């Protein structure tokens, strides 16, 4: 586990720098037995590193994250990043791409994040998939918010996007992702892909998100059929009123670990 409480380019509700600590605190209160899989993912042995504090501009942050993640990958450990704003995923993806040249990035997100630049930075969290698509193939899942520029870009490049409005059946969705992904995939999970009724503590909530069991069904198929080489959970924006979102994020991390090693 690599907690990266980085926040510099968020644009609406602030607080993603507190996300990793909130997830870790909530994880202390989980029932860690997984009734679906009949396992305890923690029995694998989970090493949670200290916070990776990066107080630098976004470009330097990306390289610092890449180097740290590459250390973990080269140590033959399975890396999980806890964010922090979504821009940290650029560095993580670059590290995985060095190790797995055929990498496909599977993005779960409410937002396309395909802007070339936003608020003066090409490494804004609204640009994360634009940067990742410069060096890696990608499939984007649950998208329901984008700019006019991004809409034109998607059509021009025929990007692989599964719109939230079209995801009626999780098994059908999973098959479409699998069809368009390579053997080695990296899952970047922006929590605002979930419906706000389930996950309200995010910086830029959008109506019409995905449901809990649908998301789990999709993720389980991906872990069963592909080699997931790493994942992140980002953009939790904790507040004093809604502890439920923190718990949900922690539960999601455990479920994904269970799918990786026990399904």
Task: Indicate which CATH number applies to the domain containing 11.
Answer: 3.40.800.10
pLDDT at 168: 95
pLDDT at 156: 97
Helix (H, G, I), strand (E, B) or coil at 81: strand
Q: Are 188 and 106 in contact (CB under 8 A)?
A: yes
Q: Does 33 score more than 80 pLDDT?
A: yes
Q: How far is CA 240 from CA 15, 18, 42, 78, 207, in A?
A: 11, 12, 28, 32, 22
Q: Are 224 and 141 in contact (CB under 8 A)?
A: no
Helix (H, G, I), strand (E, B) or coil at 172: helix
Q: Are 243 and 20 in contact (CB under 8 A)?
A: no
Q: Does 8 score more than 90 pLDDT?
A: no
Task: Write out pLDDT tens, residues 191-203.
Answer: 999 999 999 999 9
pLDDT band (50, 70, 90) for residue 133: very high
pLDDT at 54: 80
Share the mean pLDDT of the chain.
95
Task: Write out pLDDT tens, residues 187-238.
Answer: 999 999 999 999 999 999 999 999 999 999 999 999 999 999 999 999 999 9
pLDDT band (50, 70, 90) for residue 11: confident
Per the omega criterion (within 30 degrees of 0), is the bond before 112 cis? no
Lowest mean pLDDT across 47-51, 117-121, 183-187: 117-121
> What total number of domains does the chain contain?
1
Task: Write out pLDDT tens, residues 144-181.
Answer: 999 999 999 999 999 999 999 999 999 999 999 999 99
Q: Does 259 score more than 90 pLDDT?
A: yes
Q: Does 104 score more than 90 pLDDT?
A: yes
pLDDT at 119: 85
Q: Does 12 score more than 80 pLDDT?
A: no
Task: Quote the domain boundaries for residue 80.
Answer: 2-262
Q: Does 14 score more than 90 pLDDT?
A: no
Give the separation between CA 256 and CA 33, rounded to whole angstroms.
13
Q: Residue 21: enclosing H or E segment and its boundaries? A: helix 19-27
């Amino acid at each position: 586990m690599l907690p990266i409480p980085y926040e510099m380019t968020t644009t609406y509700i602030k607080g993603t720098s507190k996300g990793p600590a909130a997830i870790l605190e909530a994880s202390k209160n989980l029932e860690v037995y997984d009734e679906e899989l009949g396992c305890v993912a923690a029995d694998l042995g989970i090493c949670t590193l200290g916070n990776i504090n990066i107080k630098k501009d976004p470009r330097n942050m990306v390289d610092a994250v890449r180097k740290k993640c590459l250390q973990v990958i080269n140590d033959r450990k399975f890396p999980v990043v806890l964010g922090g704003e979504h821009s940290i995923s650029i560095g993580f993806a670059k590290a995985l791409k060095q190790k797995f040249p055929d990498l496909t990035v599977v993005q779960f997100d409410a937002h396309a994040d395909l802007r070339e630049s936003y608020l003066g930075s090409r490494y804004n969290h609204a640009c994360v998939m634009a940067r990742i698509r410069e060096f890696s193939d990608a499939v984007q899942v649950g998208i329901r918010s984008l700019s006019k520029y991004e809409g034109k870009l998607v059509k021009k490049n025929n990007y692989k996007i599964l719109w939230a409005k079209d995801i009626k059946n999780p098994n059908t969705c999973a098959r479409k992702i699998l069809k368009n992904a390579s053997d080695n995939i990296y899952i970047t999970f922006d929590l605002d892909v979930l419906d706000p009724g389930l996950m309200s503590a995010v910086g830029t909530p959008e109506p019409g998100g995905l449901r809990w069991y649908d998301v789990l069904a999709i993720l389980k198929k991906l872990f069963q059929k592909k080699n997931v080489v790493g994942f992140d959970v980002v953009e939790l924006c904790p507040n004093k009123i809604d502890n439920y979102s923190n718990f949900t994020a922690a539960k999601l991390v455990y479920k994904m670990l269970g799918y990786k090693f026990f399904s």
